[in-house]
Amino acid sequence: MTERAARRLMLVHAHPDDESINNGATMARYAAEGARVTLVTCTLGERGEVIPAELGHLNGTALGAYRRQELAAAVRELGVDDFRLLGGAGRYQDSGMMGLADNDDPGCLWQADVDRAAEHLVAVIREVRPQVLVTYDDNGGYGHPDHIQAHRVAMRAADLAADPAVRPDLGEPWRIAKVYWNRVPRSVAEAAFARLEGDLPGLPFGKSATVEDVPGVVDDERVTTRIDGTAYAAAKAAAMRAHATQIEVAEPYFALSNRLAQPLFTTEYYELVRGERAGEQDGEQDGGVETDLFAGTEEAAS
């Protein structure tokens, strides 16, 4: 982009497919509205479990290369053209699930020095100058080591990017106005799974997941922000389908490699953890829940 967009949103995710599952509707909506949406993915998901039998031969580096292509296809479906791999392709590898020997691989994200990894992200933050950053909570949503580490890197980078004493060679300092963590209100998840129970006989999945299987579920009062992406449901579903090695979609549901059905959410939820919560005049709705991630920020480039 030669001209800086007024609104700039950055998302930091662990693997290809996380962006579409967690934030696909949000990304599609803001991209369609003219915001610059920048995705930073920390690994290529080299240790993901492959669903289609015809792709079952893929693993390690070959799987990572394939998933990079899936990621490119997914963000196209979302209307996003700015996506980066932290430190470049293959710089940090998938760490596998928590507790596995894969976690000890010196090249995996879990073993990365957080400050050093954060410097790669600082360079992107200072280039893009986003007002809003979205990532996971401190448990990575569900305890995956790469999600936890992506959280640590994102939060650390937000601090370092604002400090003029840190790596001036990486660009001018930039303070991100608002930082959000991905969330799902418990009441919304419970209602969606109740619907799923009735729909399950007509789905290609044998069993249902549970509310506890959904990353980032919290009590409703922790949710500060709701983004209605229902107009972009088709784009989110298409992006998820692009990650065919990892996801099987049967709208409005999907399953991962465990083939346990779960809801495909097209309204997406967040918890504001840094920055000023918007006032009613800035875009709050019933109960003081924001309806715009940028509400209350200075949207013009500085």
Task: Decide if 263 contacts 275 (C-beta within 8 A).
Answer: no
CB-based contact 170:123 (threshold 8 Å): yes
Residues that constitute the known binding site = 15, 18, 147
Q: Tokens standing for 254? A: 């999907």
* Sign of the torsion formed by the C-alpha atoms of 158, 159, 162 and 165: negative
DSSP 49-116: PP-SGGGTT--HHHHHHHHHHHHHHHHHHTT--EEEETTSTTSSB---STTSGGGG-TTBGGGS-HHH
Annotated binding site for Zn(2+): 15, 18, 147
Residue 54 makes CB contacts below 8 A (sequence gap 6+) with: none
Rounded to the nearest angstrom, the gap between the alpha carbon of residue 136 and the centroid of all alpha carbons in its chain is 7
How far, in Å, CA of 193 to CA of 226, rounded? 19
Contacts of 229 (CB under 8 A, 6+ apart): 24, 25, 26, 28, 29, 236, 266, 267, 268
- Residue ranges in the chain assigned as alpha helix (H): 18-32, 60-77, 114-128, 145-162, 186-199, 233-242
CA 15, 218, 36, 265 torsion: positive or negative? positive
Please tell me whether the peptide bond between 252 and the residue prior to it is cis, using omega within 30 degrees of 0: yes
